[in-house]
Copies of this chain bind each other. A is one copy, B any other.
């Protein structure tokens, strides 16, 4: 995967078709199962060791799959990693639901804060953000991956934005509150908090970061 060469062609309609992407192929039910076992195994290994240190052979072993299967379901390592990014994003959002979709009260924001901190404590502060870590590794190296990661962050940010916007619409927050900025600040503090928490093996950074932004949001409370 070094010197990632990614081919893409622009179709007649102007849409960009991704040559070499495996996601549009037709697979049988059995095939899809093998494919998802591979993605699952790769996700775990990438989370633990990073992209560069995750070998295709390691993934094969963990998924119980042969080399030819790897390249039957994915064109190359890049393609697999993109699938991992998508999978980890789904997983991440699922782990924070349903609270993530109901971030429209101060109580809900606190529940979310507690949830995130608990998750890190459960794993003893080992492992940062599954997509943040990949972002730090690939953002400058792989344009396609960077775009995917940006999309992931967007997907994460959207429900936070929506929740805060609802609070403002409902009158919980002052009418001129810049809820989009607050939502972005929450995502920022989450990423930074996770990285420092991972490095210091201590949830204080995550806690302090989130609490700081939450306190700031409260200064916009109406009445």
Instruction: Please give the residue numbers on chain A whose beta carbons come within 8 Å of chain B beta carbons, in ascending order.
Output: 2, 48-50, 52-53, 126-128, 132-133, 135-137, 139-141, 146, 149-150, 153, 181-182, 184-185, 187-193, 195-196, 198-201, 204-206, 208-209, 211-213, 215-216, 219
Contact = CB atoms under 8 A, between A and B. Distances in A.
DSSP majority for the A interface?
Answer: helix
Contacts of A181: 208, 211-212
Contacts of A49: 141
Contact of A216 (B50, B136, B215): B215
Nearest to A200: B150
Contacts of A135: 195, 198-199
6 contacts: A139-B199, A140-B198, A146-B199, A188-B192, A192-B193, A212-B216
